[in-house]
Amino acid sequence: MAAEIVNPRSETHTDQEGGAEPLDSFDPAFALHRGGKMAVQATVPIRDKDDLSLAYTPGVAKVCTAIAEQPDLVHDYTWKSSVVAVVTDGTAVLGLGDIGPEASLPVMEGKAILFKQFGGVDAVPIALACTDVDEIVETVVRLAPSFGGVNLEDISAPRCFEIERRLQERLDIPIFHDDQHGTAVVTLAALRNAARLSGREIGQLRAVISGAGAAGVAIARMLVEAGIGDVAVADRKGVVSADREDLTDVKRELAGFTNKAGLSGSLEDALAGADVFIGVSGGTVPEEAVASMAEGAFVFAMANPNPEVHPDVAHKYAAVVATGRSDFPNQINNVLAFPGIFAGALQVRASRITEGMKIAAAEALASVVGDDLAADYVIPSPFDERVAPAVTAAVAAAARAEGVARR
């Protein structure tokens, strides 16, 4: 007799002592996660021995032989062209920090289902039990033949920069660290619309970013690429400037393409007269510093769960306020970007994701708002069904224009 297949979702678990109430009884989040949030589903039926002989041996041998002779056929006859690896080492998970690979897996599963739900892209969560840069790079390189792209997730800075760079150098598939670039794309989209609402161009704005980690560096780079008037970045020790002697290599490079005004001192000093505040670091910005910003300023306080500036305070001084939370208007949420970006890149078999593709994604995302633009609506909802198609089409077109598309 065949062994009974048990659905883990149907089991009731108690603690090791026995008799304690299952966690599911107390919290709907645990109930939703029971047994995991994902499963593998076949795209072809196996109803009889003929189907079996085609899906597996001997029929599968023909496909294997063809791919061996013409490797590009792997994109046509396997899942490679439509599947992304979501890779983490668990060192910078949400606001939880370094919690390890096992504890990060629920987040990676969540990321994978967002890929599918919002972009139609299949994704596989991969949590690595190593934190060494060389080991992570080598592991991902060896896994790459199975995937059409790699989404790096929740890897701590500054290691995340080197891991992404080295993988981009060694692989000819899209490598995308969403904590950096997804955040930057959505931020730029919101900023473009805020500027449009105020009748200004992005080149007229001076921005200050709080946080020189993964997101802060990527946002600064994208704003410069998009033509921002000036942008300064502050870390815990103050404005990242060329005269500081304590900068890491990443921050030294950052100082080289930001802060044209030559600002120094604290974050609060830099905010005086600034048009834009972008927070990606946590902590609290004093109300006096927000009050010192230029008239009609924009405050994007994106730390979760506690924004650097509470919206009630920000609204006293700012024309547009955005946060990273879903319970306030104008949520800066990466899910607006990464599903469509990967869908577009995979659609044309892009060899990489360029700055131009990311800017195209931001412009497409901003355009979804259209004539409905308002102070409390500078960025669309993740549930707006126009978002993913718009971003997908823009990214695919940009890939073709920049010569990285292969179909």
pLDDT in tens, 129-184: 999 999 999 999 999 999 999 999 999 999 999 999 999 999 999 999 999 999 99
Which residue in 391, 280, 368, 378 sits closest to 329, CA to CA?
378
**Lowest-pLDDT choice from 2-6, 39-43, 191-195, 379-383:** 2-6
- Percent of the chain exceeding pLDDT 70 equals 94
Amino acid at 171: L
pLDDT band at 74 (very low <50, low <70, confident <90, very high): very high
In whole numbers, what is the pLDDT of the chain averaged over residues? 93
Q: Is 316 an annotated catalytic residue?
A: no
* 119 pLDDT above the threshold of 90: yes
pLDDT score at 28: 87
pLDDT band at 21 (very low <50, low <70, confident <90, very high): low
* 33 pLDDT above the threshold of 90: no
Q: What is the mean predicted confidence (pLDDT) over 319-335?
A: 95
Region for 265 from its dihedrals, namely left if φ exceeds 0, alpha if ψ lies in -120 to 50, beta otherwise = left
- Long-range pairs of 139-142 with CB within 8 A, sequence gap ≥ 24: 140/85, 140/87, 140/167, 140/171, 141/167, 141/170, 141/171
pLDDT score at 22: 61
Please give the helix or strand (H or E) that residue 210 lies within, else none: strand 206-210
Q: Is 237 an annotated catalytic residue?
A: no
Boundaries of every domain in the chain: 78-173, 179-407
Tokens read off for 290: 């927000």
User: What separation in angstroms does the CA of 237 have from each of 162, 240, 267, 394?
Assistant: 23, 8, 9, 39
Dist. CA 115–CA 372, nearest whole Å: 27
pLDDT score at 2: 44
Tokens read off for 189: 């989209």
Please tell me the class of the 179-407 domain. alpha beta
Q: Which of 56, 116, 237, 316 is catalytic?
A: 56
78-173 and 179-407 share one CATH topology?
yes
Q: What is the mean predicted confidence (pLDDT) over 62-82?
A: 97
As a CATH number, domain 78-173 is 3.40.50.10380
Which residue in 175, 156, 154, 144 sits closest to 74, CA to CA?
144
Q: Which of 80, 111, 251, 358 is catalytic?
A: 111
Region for 110 from its dihedrals, namely left if φ exceeds 0, alpha if ψ lies in -120 to 50, beta otherwise = alpha
